[in-house]
Structure 1
């Protein structure tokens, strides 16, 4: 990982990110979506803080099992992206609401095959969907954000059907929480968590809430 990355939306108020016009009907039980937005350490940290998210596992998607390991994926030649496998309770948070945070805080969706100084297809912005209904919700929200002009550049997020998810090595799981003083986490994940607490305080689990949040 490099030691610098853009934090999207730092000067963009919450109101600039519209609520999704299209969403999935609330199913019974747990739901799942696999998201890629650069370094999985940082995306994991952001999404795990959301109320209704039951688990987030870092891993790889988009390539084969033979090369689904950190050293190979970091070469940028395997076809994988660093991803997070998000399981959530749709009675508490919907797919559309997850996407709203993913596109506003977790990463910069306008960057193609990179996040800041992390460069390569393994750091691409992508949503790995399992159903056509999921794909349609994501497509609709990307159109909505582009139409609203939230970013000056068009969103570059790819939509890819999930063939398989490969969990990352144990050392990469819950990395930010276990390594808060690691330089990359301090430089990249910490500002995203501050932004999350600032504009999405009402969507956080109690242990992640802060006093006097800015609800701009």
Structure 2
């Protein structure tokens, strides 16, 4: 059973999310919270696999809460709940370790599947919407591209090729098919890339590739 904490300052939204998730049969909402500080407390107590976290809340917002949740042991998978066009701090939450985001109008079936996806250790990088999110909100430091390129220089050619596929939004299975390698080999390349770059997850890897200007759809292997 996948253990989930739902965090939103609106009780009606929390109730709706609970009903949708628990109707799936394999997901249990073990706690709710109305702000980021409460989210950290209940996550520490209930040790969820996944935290669905709103961005704009009183007391402590989702950005600060994400950073604190990542310090827990074990740290839960954090998924940001957003309206996309209003939550300008979502990219920072992703940089702090969140593994993805959901639009608040996500269809019920997709919501449950998204929770399963992150609980299994995968980030939510749909080719269309997530790439738009990364492109819209990624930091724009004047020398950001050069710094990102320098960091990526630590990767082998094959690791960089896989990283670009991650940034394009492809799953491990899809990357393997495009580059003619097994899923296990794809996972190994991603793990080595994350370790070399001191990154927490593939969302952060995708954002670094974006910052380096290498996020255009890469060629197949």
TM-score category of the 2 structures, normalised to the smaller one: under 0.3
Which structure has more relative contact order (CA 8 Å, sep 6+)? It is: 1
Q: TM-score, normalised by structure 2?
A: 0.24
Whose strand proportion is higher, 1 or 2? Answer: 1
